[in-house]
Amino acid sequence: MVLDSVILSRMLTSTTLAFHIIFATIGVGVPVMISIAEFMGIKRNDPHYLLLARRWARGFTITVAVGVVTGTAIGLQLSLLWPSFMQVAGQVIALPLFMETFAFFFEAIFLGIYLYTWDRFKNKWIHWLLTIPVMIGSSASALFITTVNAFMNTPQGFELKDGKAIEIDPIAAMLNPATPTKVFHVLTTAYLTSALILAAITAFAILRKKGGDYHKKALRLTMVSALIFAFATAIAGDLSAKFLAEYQPEKLAAAEWHFETEENADLIVFGTLDENNEVHNEIRLPGFLSFLAGSSFDTEVIGLNEFPEDERPPLWVHYLFDLMVSIGFYSIFIAAAYILFWKWKKRNEWNKPLLWGIVASGPLAMLAIEFGWIYAEVGRQPWILRGYMKVAEAATKADGVGLTFALFVGLYVLLGILCVVVLIKMFKNRPAEAELEQRFPKKAS
């Protein structure tokens, strides 16, 4: 592999995005959890939930800050690293990009207000109402930016003539075939991942013997939310597969090592591939790929052999796809198991293996987000604009991409470490019980 501008630009873009989506996912999902907790707190007049909302919100500010600055970075890097792409596609996708900044603006204003008005309104519901514009803002910005990514997968709403976009229809470009499933999948997984991360932190605290009523309520709340979001994620994932089968068959085929077009196609789980593209050591579910693609075992699934070799995505995305799906199923399993243990009175829902399983689910969910995005992005290689422009034509011709890459990696390492250090410090010195006593002295006693 030669480290030319194209490779380096891809490396830098993927590093920035891989780092940014951690914070972006939290940024979309955690406001929803904060809102639910505060709602329960006011409704039940329970200081535990109110404190939960406060503490989540406090940690959230740190992740928002990193999310904002890395989001700014990727926003500018689009033009810095892919100037030719932005010159062409900028004409077509400027609208959702513009709308995303409005949504972001809206969120920023109300988040600022929310964080600094905890005790300011006599009517507690007014403060809770502020979470609604924050949630709308964060989810809407995810929605708009996802339409941009969807457009890169299934471009429409323009014609390309002599390297210039003409006959532009901005709305059609936004509402391209990939948009509905992508947006649905992005939102549900962000909510799921955030719920699981908060659950994982809580379960860890309980395991460390720090858990009182506060932590137990937090775990129940997050696990119920997680189960609901996990089911929604499964539906979104299924719809996404059906979308791929119809509009981007090469991506699905690469994920499933599906070479020959056929009906009753098998679903291949894990396994290895030799140099002749023969699959070994796999778990083979007969006919299930057809079922996944079209809800019937007779569905014809297009194979990779239909595509010229230089337009096929790399085959290693199979592993990422499988890992993502496995983690998705694990989330349903762990959330359902916890709720069963809780409702089934004879069982102890606080047993160690179950709690450790929940601790694992948080980081695993975040890994699934990463795997899913890498699969989605690498799965459309070699295209930057599927069918229109290849990645190699779009990269910058400027020198210095290598140096830029090194600088940004340094930045992300620094931000990543400090973010964790600051977050741990923030909560370690102020246990929930002490804060509860101090903030709600009468009720807590």
Residues 192, 223: Cα–Cα separation, whole Å: 10
Rounded to a whole number of angstroms, the minimum distance from the CB of residue 118 to other proteins is 10
DSSP 208: T
- Least distance (Å) between residue 359 CB and other proteins: 24
Distance in Å, CB of 207 to other proteins, minimum: 25
CB of 246 within 8 A of CB of 299? no
Omega of the bond leading into 308 within 30 degrees of 0 (cis): no
Task: Give the side-chain half-sphere CA count within 13 A for 339.
Answer: 14
Number of Cα atoms under 13 Å in the Cβ half of residue 139:
19
Closest contact distance (angstroms) between CB of 13 and other proteins is: 12
Residue (of 185, 257, 191, 245) closest to 222 by Cα position: 191
Of 92 and 389, the one with the shorter C-beta distance to other proteins is 92
Q: With respect to other proteins, which residue has the nearer C-beta, 14 or 261? A: 14
Number of Cβ within a 10 Å radius of residue 303: 19
Task: Read off the DSSP letter of residue 270.
Answer: S
Nearer to other proteins, 269 or 419 (CB): 419
The amino acid present at 222, given as its one-letter code, is T
Q: How far is the CB of 89 from other proteins (least distance, A)?
A: 8
Q: 266, exposed or middle or buried, with CB in 10 Å at 0-12, 13-18, 19+? A: buried
Task: Compare residues 164 and 347 and give the one whose CB is closer to other proteins.
Answer: 164
Q: Which is nearer to other proteins, 398 or 434 (CB)?
A: 398
Judged by CB, which is closer to other proteins: 139, or 233? 139
Q: Which is nearer to other proteins, 228 or 409 (CB)?
A: 409
Nearest approach, Cβ of residue 354 and other proteins (Å): 32
Q: How would DSSP label each residue in 111-165? A: HHHHHT-TTT-SSHHHHHHTHHHHHHHHHHHHHHHHHHHHHHHS--S-EEETTEE
Give the three-state DSSP class for 430.
coil
Residue entry with tokens 């983690």: 327
User: Which residue, 209 or 428, has its beta carbon nearer to other proteins?
Assistant: 428
Q: Which long-range contacts (CB under 8 A, 24 or more apart) does 433-442 make?
A: 433/212, 433/214, 435/51, 435/55, 436/47, 436/48, 436/51, 436/214, 439/47, 439/51, 439/54, 440/47, 440/50, 440/51
Compare residues 276 and 429 and give the one whose CB is closer to other proteins: 429
Among 167, 190, 149, 158, smallest CA distance to 33 is for 190
Q: Which is nearer to other proteins, 273 or 415 (CB)?
A: 415
Smallest gap from residue 408 Cβ to other proteins (A): 7
Q: Which residues contact 312 (CB under 8 A, 6 or more apart)?
A: 250, 254, 304
Question: Shortest distance, CB of residue 402 to other proteins, whole angstroms?
Answer: 11
In the complex, the smallest distance separating the C-beta of residue 363 from other proteins, rounded to whole angstroms, is 22
Shortest spacing between CB 216 and other proteins, in angstroms:
27
